[in-house]
Amino acid sequence: MNFTKSLTEWYLENKRDLPWRNTRNPYFIWLSEIMLQQTRVVQGMPYFLSFTSAFPTVFDLAKADEEQVLKLWQGLGYYSRARNLHKTAQKIAFERNGVFPDNYTDLLQLKGIGEYTAAAIASFCFDEVVPVVDGNVFRVLARYFDIESDIAIGATKKEFSTLALELMTNRIPGRDKQCEVNPALFNQAIMEFGALQCVPKSPNCTVCIFNTSCAALQKKKISQLPVKSKKVKVRKRYFNYIIYIDEQEQTLIKKRSDKGIWYNLYEFPLFETEIGVDFETISNLIQEEPFIINKIISISALNTVERPHKLSHQHLYIKFWKVNVEGLISNALDYESVLKFPFPVVIYNFIEKNENSFKI
Terminal Cα-to-Cα distance of the chain (whole angstroms):
71
* Distant-in-sequence, close-in-space partners of 169: CB < 8 Å, separation ≥ 6: 129, 178, 181
Question: Cα–Cα distance between 26 and 88 in angstroms, integer?
Answer: 13
* Omega cis (within 30) before 101: no
**Cβ neighbours, 10 Å, residue 284:** 11
Which burial class, exposed, middle or buried, applies to 169 when counting CB atoms under 10 A from its CB (0-12, 13-18, 19+)?
middle
Encoded amino acid at 360, one letter? I
Q: Report how far apart, in Å, the C-alpha atoms of 259 and of each of 40, 200, 255, 263 are.
A: 26, 33, 12, 6
Q: Which of 9, 13, 33, 288 is catalytic?
A: 33
Contact by Cβ (8 Å): 333, 255: no
Pairing of strands 235-245, 314-325: parallel
Q: In the Cβ-directed half-sphere of 285, how many Cα atoms lie within 13 Å?
A: 15
Question: Cα–Cα distance between 234 and 310 in angstroms, integer?
Answer: 9
> Is residue 33 annotated as part of the catalytic site, yes or no?
yes
To the nearest 10°, the Cα dihedral for 178, 181, 184, 187?
Answer: 20
Task: Please identify every residue annotated as catalytic.
Answer: 33
